[in-house]
Chain A
Amino acid sequence: MLKLRNINKTFFPNSINERVALSDINLDLDDGDFVTVIGSNGAGKSTVLNTIAGKVSPDTGIVEIAGRNVTRMKDFKRAKYVGRVFQDPMAGTSPDLTIEQNMALAERRGLSRGLSFGITKAKRQRFAAALEVLELGLEKRLSAKVGLLSGGQRQALSLLMATFSEPKILLLDEHTAALDPERARLVTHLTEKVVAEKNLTTLMVTHNMSQALEVGNRLIMMHEGDIILDVSGEAKASMSVEDLLAQFSNIKDAAVSDRTLLQ
């Protein structure tokens, strides 16, 4: 479903701030893979996601989605294949538009946007039915401005919008990190539910090691722009947070961030 081949990316090359973000990354995701990505700050997790989404164009290498080479495709065109949920709950929705207008936007991912009505009765019914899954009562507030929703509600809506039109790849960039523990659990639960229901190929960055182990069928660990651990299936299921930490300390000079240790 997703293929990354020999991806290299250096930020600010030939300057004092030169930083190798990705060095020769190779990654293959099968249809329906749910991969969690962990690693210390600056390991290149977000850069991988941005490379897949088309926000960052790699210096070398090839990005292939569903057998199509999309390396040179612009981010908004690639959005046809890629759904995203951002860390910031404000980032994934349009605050001045209503819930149903946001969903109408999301529903037309990858389709042309013409001059037919954005909101119709049929669409409202579809949106209400989809929102019911969230169990947040949003289906009764279709014409409320999204700016009025709480962070957790907005993030749940973002998730729904990102998965609404069944993208080939779903990218989740620490999408529960800005939420309180209870909301984070809710959004994580919704994520698992939606991904399973639609059998989405998913890449989820997280700082929470236990979450990284609980969720998904595969785990990769990144360090300094490299994938240093890739476990799936049984091997992943039998791993503990201690094992992961041991892996971390195995790396020479590994800079384990405070944040990682706290969890």
Chain B
Amino acid sequence: MTVTLELGLIYAIMALGVYLTFRILNFPDLTVDQSFTTGAATAAILMVNYDLNPVLALVAAFIAGALAGIVTGLLHAKGGINPLLAGILTMLALYSINLRIMGNRANVPLLGHDTIYSWFNSNGITGWVLILVLAVIILAFKFLLDWFLGTDMGLGLQATGDNEEMVRSFGVSTDAMKIVGLAVSNGLVGLAGAFIAQKQGSADISMGIGLILVGLASVILGQAIFQNRYVTRFADTAAGRLIFGTRNREVLLATTAVIFGSIIYRAAVQGALAIGFHPNDMRLISAIIVVLALLIPKWRVRTRAKSKQTPETQPALQEATNAQA
């Protein structure tokens, strides 16, 4: 239980980054797969070789991840390369760079060095207390992202993913917005990587592979489950307004959903392991979770439309299906 929550909360930082590109910028960014490792490798090397403070190592990881995001952004915005391809190119290049950062090793152990986790342990922060501390940290990141997306710059970023033509006609450089968005996103991903490295006691070249799937699963799952009409209705009440506000409600609801999604995803993975799946099956299971989370809302709409069939609406529906055929 605590393991699920712990991993869910840490990976939620990465999921928030994926949300920023995938949902806000409408940019399916595959850089994530390696910028996670870039963050981990940067933090690990700085801690091992230069005895850097573990928290500063997290900051360094954010910067390293952000640089990777900027490269993808430049490839797309200035080079005109398709978003998916730009991400893949950066991701592939980063594999070599990550090995370089780690001194041409596939693994950098943090044994015997101070980490956030060793600090947690020596201060008796374990179990549920640790969950609480992590929850506060993740909420801080959520609030920062919420705040950022509510600023003048953040609004420009949101609109860039929504209606590029319009936002340019109001003098926003969509190129700059995309680069900023990709930088912040991959910065968060790199920071999550460094966090995980400190937790597991090493940075590993393969630790990020397939992570885009985890991020997407968290975002899609969270929004599919959490963002429903009951929550929207709650957000309209006085208590809901207090929590989600009215200025940037969509984003506040979505980031909350993404954090829940990250935890739900971890629970699903733990559940799959508990009923006897092999850890090697996890990629397949992740992919199936994403597919289901994408398809189920569509099925729901269709069955709802069918159940509402009345003599008057039936001809219209018939017409619509005929037109489709």
Contact = CB atoms under 8 A, between A and B. Distances in A.
Interface bracket on B? 20 to 34
A203 to B, nearest CB: 15
Given A94-B162, A97-B158, A117 B150 contact: yes
B65 interface: no
A95 B163 CA distance: 8
Contacts of A145: 250
A94 B163 contact: yes
Nearest to A92: B166
Given A143-B246, A143-B247, A96 B158 contact: yes
A114 B151 contact: yes
Nearest to A101: B155
Nearest to B157: A113
Interface in A231-261: none
Contacts of B154: 118
A98 B155 CA distance: 10
B200 interface: no
A217 to B, nearest CB: 25
B158 A101 contact: yes
Nearest to A75: B168
B173 interface: yes
Nearest to B159: A94
Interface in B282-320: none
B148 A115 contact: yes
Interface residues on A, range: 35 or more
- Name the prevailing secondary structure of the B interface residues: helix
Interface string A68-107: 0000000111011011101000111111111011101110
A53 interface: yes
Nearest to A81: B171
Interface string A112-125: 01111111000000
A119 B166 contact: no
Contacts of A94: 158-159, 162-163, 166-167
Given A94-B162, A96-B250, A79 B169 contact: yes
Contacts of A110: 171
Contact of A93 (B150, B163, B172): B163
Interface in B111-164: 148, 150-156, 158-159, 162-163
A96 B153 contact: no
B170 interface: yes
Contacts of B172: 76, 79, 105, 113
B119 to A, nearest CB: 31
B35 interface: no
Contacts of A168: none
A118 B150 contact: yes
B174 interface: yes
B166 A104 contact: no
B156 A113 contact: yes
A101 B155 CA distance: 7
A108 interface: yes
Contacts of B206: none
A109 interface: yes
B165 interface: yes
A143 B159 contact: no
A207 to B, nearest CB: 21
A198 B21 CA distance: 39
Given A101-B155, A102-B159, A108-B171, 13 more contacts: A76-B171, A82-B169, A94-B158, A94-B159, A94-B163, A105-B156, A105-B167, A108-B152, A110-B171, A115-B152, A118-B151, A118-B154, A143-B247
17 contacts: A75-B168, A76-B173, A76-B174, A91-B163, A92-B169, A93-B163, A94-B162, A95-B163, A105-B155, A105-B167, A105-B170, A108-B152, A110-B171, A113-B172, A115-B152, A118-B247, A145-B250
Interface of B: 148, 150-156, 158-159, 162-163, 165-174, 246-250
Closest 3 CB pairs of A and B: A79-B171, A113-B152, A94-B159
